[in-house]
């Protein structure tokens, strides 16, 4: 999340700027610099733009990348030459750009882990595993393990996408039908059949929802944005409370816990 801040320096100068992080992190960061905080507000639009522009390497691409890297390392090709060859053969724009940066950083004397980290497109697991591989001298084995891991993850994500497509389509259709009924059907019925005050509660509730959606439809658009803002602001400061509540939700909580444990033990297996 991005935040706009205004502070006073020790010399009395007012400084404005933008920082990325949680609310508490940025606040502590500014205090450590001996700044007097005047204001700190979330920059929602910049955060949304950053989220839309942020790109990472997909699991399937990572699996293929590390498979090719393992094959090259087995033939005795140096890591910098392997990176150049993989860059030339890559058809993924994100990976190609990242490998170009890695090539330049390796030429400057950066370690492999540092070069990968500078791209900011590789998952933390890749960075940590590469660090272990560099220190232990088992980069070939680590790359092979990463290739197998991301191959399994790509298969899982593919199965998951196939499983959720139908519910998402049904949900979108229900939302569309709900808006159509609220905007078109119910107003006509209300005009033809005037509803009195002694109508059933369900009827009055349906009319209320219809009028609400018709007059305040934009709230449906603002609600997801507000939810993202609240979550990003409090997720680090109240992560334990949120997790405790989230895992207690019937059905969803148990599935989420199983997914977390599955990821944990998969990472340990690597």
My answer on whether 103 and 47 are in the same domain is no
End-of-domain residue from the set 152, 170, 185: 152
End-of-domain residue from the set 37, 53, 69: 53
The yes-or-no verdict on residue 203 having pLDDT over 80 is no
**DSSP result, 114-183:** HHHHHHS-S-HHHHHHHHHHHHHT-HHHHHHHHHHHHHHHHHHHHHHHHHHHHHHHHHHHHHHHHHHIII
My answer on whether 63 and 147 are in the same domain is yes
- Domain-located, residue 210: no
User: Taking CA 234 as the corner, what is the angle to CA 233 and CA 236, rounded to the nearest 5 degrees?
Assistant: 105
End-of-domain residue from the set 125, 152, 179: 152
- Domain-located, residue 167: no
Domain span including residue 13? 2-53
My answer on whether 87 and 138 are in the same domain is yes
pLDDT in tens, 9-38: 888 888 888 876 777 878 888 888 888 888
The yes-or-no verdict on residue 236 having pLDDT over 60 is no
- Phi and psi angles of residue 235, each rounded to the nearest 5 degrees, phi first: -65, -30
My answer on whether 146 and 63 are in the same domain is yes
Global pTM value: 0.59
- Phi and psi angles of residue 34, each rounded to the nearest 5 degrees, phi first: 65, 35
Query: Who wins on pLDDT, 140 or 19?
Result: 140
Query: Is the torsion defined by CA of 69, 71, 72, 73 positive or negative?
Result: positive
- Domain-located, residue 204: no
Tokens of 1: 């999340």
Selection from 35, 63, 268, 266 nearest residue 158 by Cα: 63
Q: Are 133 and 144 in contact (CB under 8 A)?
A: no
My answer on whether 229 and 244 are in the same domain is yes
- Domain-located, residue 265: yes
- Domain-located, residue 263: yes
- Phi and psi angles of residue 56, each rounded to the nearest 5 degrees, phi first: -130, 165
- Domain-located, residue 208: no
Selection from 226, 269, 237 nearest residue 22 by Cα: 237
- Domain-located, residue 191: no
DSSP state of 39: E
Number of domains in the chain: 3
pLDDT in tens, 68-102: 999 999 999 989 899 999 998 888 888 898 999 99
- Domain-located, residue 46: yes
Q: Are 63 and 161 in contact (CB under 8 A)?
A: no
pLDDT in tens, 49-68: 665 555 678 889 999 999 99
């Amino acid at each position: 999340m991005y935040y706009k801040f205004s502070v006073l320096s020790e010399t009395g100068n007012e400084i404005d700027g933008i920082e990325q992080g949680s609310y508490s992190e940025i606040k502590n960061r500014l205090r450590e610099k001996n700044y007097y905080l005047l204001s700190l507000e979330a920059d929602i639009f910049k955060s949304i733009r950053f989220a839309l522009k942020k790109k990472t390497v997909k699991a399937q691409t990572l699996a293929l990348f590390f498979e090719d890297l393992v094959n090259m390392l087995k033939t005795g090709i140096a890591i910098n030459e392997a990176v150049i060859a993989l860059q030339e053969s890559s058809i993924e724009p994100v990976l190609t750009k990242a490998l170009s940066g890695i090539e330049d950083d390796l030429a400057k004397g950066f370690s492999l882990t540092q070069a990968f980290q500078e791209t900011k497109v590789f998952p933390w697991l890749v960075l940590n595993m590469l660090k272990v591989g560099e220190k232990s001298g088992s980069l070939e084995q680590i790359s092979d393990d990463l290739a197998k891991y991301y191959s399994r993850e790509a298969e899982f994500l593919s199965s998951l996408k196939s499983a959720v497509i139908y519910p998402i389509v049904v949900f979108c259709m229900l939302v569309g039908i709900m808006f159509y009924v609220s905007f078109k059907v119910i107003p006509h019925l209300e005009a033809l059949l005037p509803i009195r005050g002694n109508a059933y509660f369900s009827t009055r509730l349906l009319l209320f929802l219809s009028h609400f959606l018709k007059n305040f439809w934009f709230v449906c658009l603002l609600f997801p944005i507000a939810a993202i803002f609240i979550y990003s602001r409090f997720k680090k400061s109240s992560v334990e409370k949120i997790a405790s509540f989230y895992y207690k939700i019937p059905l969803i909580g148990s599935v989420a816990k199983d997914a977390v444990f599955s990821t944990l033990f998969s990472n340990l297996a690597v």
